[in-house]
Structure 1
């Protein structure tokens, strides 16, 4: 993947990164970050399941930034590296992932690769483990994850190297009074 920025920073003196590039369109960027924060702030679907889906997307898209970031709320819900290590091809046989997580992963794969992956048993498992509201939220999340990964990769905003980094779970920033 490219680590040579293809888009300049809109913030003088600041190197190109996702936030500084989106600063070229501040109102749209603010709306995007508010949506992303609301998604992560919703408790309809656990942060752990959201993070499991985000990790699958990171591995499929090979986004270096996405692969190395962990959000603290999911870690607090017990998502450790031993579980993340099983989010690879063959996750269906993992003893560390829950059945709900496996169903969410199959849904993630269907969204990323081929909707036909969500037929028969996979669809039944998804409906058994997640409510329609949770499935809708997961669909929005995977769409956001895929878009973010592709944007970072395409704009050349991935780091050359990056250690595993725990970040605060995205949230809606309160407007200054």
Structure 2
């Protein structure tokens, strides 16, 4: 992946990173930040399940930043590195992933690769473990995760090297209704 920025920073003296590049469009950046915070602030779908989907997206897209960031709320809900390690090809046979997590991963693969992957047993498992509201929230999250990963990769904003980093879970900037 590219680690050479293809877009300059809008902030004088600051290197190009996602935030400094988005600063070229402050109103859109603020709207995105509000949406991303509201998504993570919603408890319709647990932070752990959101993070499972985000980690699968990171593995598939090979986004270096996304692969190395962990959000604290999911960690607080018991998502450890042993489970994250199983979010790879062959996750279906994992003993550490729950059946709900496997259903989320199958949905994630269908979302990223081919909707036909979500038929029969896979669709039944998803509906058994998640409500329509949770599936809708998961779909929105995957849209955001895929877009973020592709933006970072395409704009050359991935770090050359990055240690595993735990960040505060994005939070809403206004009350969630």
TM-score range, shorter chain: over 0.9
Query: 2:14 is matched with which residue?
Result: 14
User: Number of paired residues?
Assistant: 174
Distance in 1 (alpha carbons) for counterparts of 2:157 and 2:172: 23
Query: 2:143 is matched with which residue?
Result: 143
Query: 2:75 is matched with which residue?
Result: 75
C-alpha deviations, 1:10-41, integer Å up to 9, x for none?
00000000000000000000000100000000
Structure 2 runs not aligned, ≥5 long: none
Q: How does 1:22-101 map to 2 (within 5 A)?
A: 22-101=22-101
Structure 1 runs not aligned, ≥5 long: none
Query: 1:168 is matched with which residue?
Result: 168
Distance in 1 (alpha carbons) for counterparts of 2:89 and 2:83: 13
Runs of 4+ in 1 over 2 A off after TM superposition: none
- 1:173 shift after superposition: 2.8
**Over the residues paired in the alignment, what is the CA RMSD in angstroms?**
0.6
- 1:172 shift after superposition: 2.0
